[in-house]
Amino acid sequence: MSVRLVVIGDSFVEGRGDPDPHGSGYRGWLPTFAGLLGLRADECRNHGEHLATTASVVDRQLDAVRSTRPRLAGMIAGFNDIVGEYQPAEFRSNLATIFGTMTRHASLAFTGTYPDVTRRMSLTAPVRAELRSRIQDANAALREIAAQLDLVCLDVDHSETDWDDDVLWSDDGIHPSRAGHLRFAGELAGAVAESLGVVLTGTAPDSVRQPRALECH
């Protein structure tokens, strides 16, 4: 069976915040996203890792894209860079490597920007301000490199969804809830479908909102 979708990244890709009721893992946004695009589960691969950084994606996950050459390749990672020892130059270099590899080995590549989750985190004012500055810097880099390499990029800052809505976030305030994963799946599927010039024909839970596609500005 050929692999048509490969997604790499961190715990957002892994699906944390949305436990699988039928097992010990997570559901997350990927199954719904794939279903909306008419993809079967056996055509998709999820390589998301808890605590992954852009550097670890380069080191451990990019080969999954190179070896399968899927129709669609996606990457959501970088928040662990932001909250760790953030090095802007290294971060940009890693994004360029990841996105460049994805565009060379997949027919279409996609990503998304980072929401500002600091409001839900217990932080001092100086730390909150520093993290917000890092998120803004990281998003600017991601938008620029994604545009240069022609990736589909879902920009949550220009989304129709109010990502400050607490119902979209799990108890930890960092990972999306079930509702948040479903909302992200619908928005990202819409953006990818628009780029492909196709109409979404797959199925998804009733709670998935499918607004007009929005891409990074």
Cβ atoms of 145 and 115 closer than 8 Å: no
Query: Residue range 4-30: average pLDDT?
Result: 95
Cβ atoms of 69 and 109 closer than 8 Å: no
- Is 206 contained in some domain? no
Please tell me the distance from the alpha carbon of residue 105 to that of residue 71, in angstroms, as a whole number.
9
The distance from CA 12 to its chain's CA centroid, rounded to whole angstroms, is 7
- Is 203 contained in some domain? no
pTM exceeds 0.85, yes or no:
yes
Domain residue limits at 42: 5-196
- Is 153 contained in some domain? yes
Q: Which residues pair with 29 in a beta bridge?
A: none
Q: What mean pLDDT value characterizes the chain?
A: 92
Buried b (16+ CB within 10 A) or exposed e, 128-145: eeebbebbeebbebbbeb
pLDDT at 113 over 80: yes
Greater pLDDT, 35 or 216: 35
- Is 216 contained in some domain? no
pLDDT digits (tens, 9 = 90+) for 185-207: 999 999 999 999 988 876 665 45
Domain count, the chain: 1
pLDDT at 130 over 90: yes
- Is 126 contained in some domain? yes
- Is 202 contained in some domain? no
Q: How far apart are the first and last CA of the chain?
A: 37
pLDDT at 173 over 50: yes
pLDDT digits (tens, 9 = 90+) for 89-108: 999 999 999 999 999 999 99
% of the chain exceeding 70 in pLDDT: 92
Strand (E) or helix (H) holding 169: none
Please tell me the distance from the alpha carbon of residue 104 to that of residue 118, in angstroms, as a whole number.
35
pLDDT computed for residue 203 by the predictor: 62
Residue 31 makes CB contacts below 8 A (sequence gap 6+) with: 41, 44
CATH number at residue 45: 3.40.50.1110
- Is 124 contained in some domain? yes
pLDDT digits (tens, 9 = 90+) for 156-168: 999 889 999 999 9
Half-sphere exposure of 15 (CA within 13 A, CB side): 21
Tokens representing residue 98 in the block = 């990841």
Query: Residue range 210-215: average pLDDT?
Result: 38
- Is 150 contained in some domain? yes
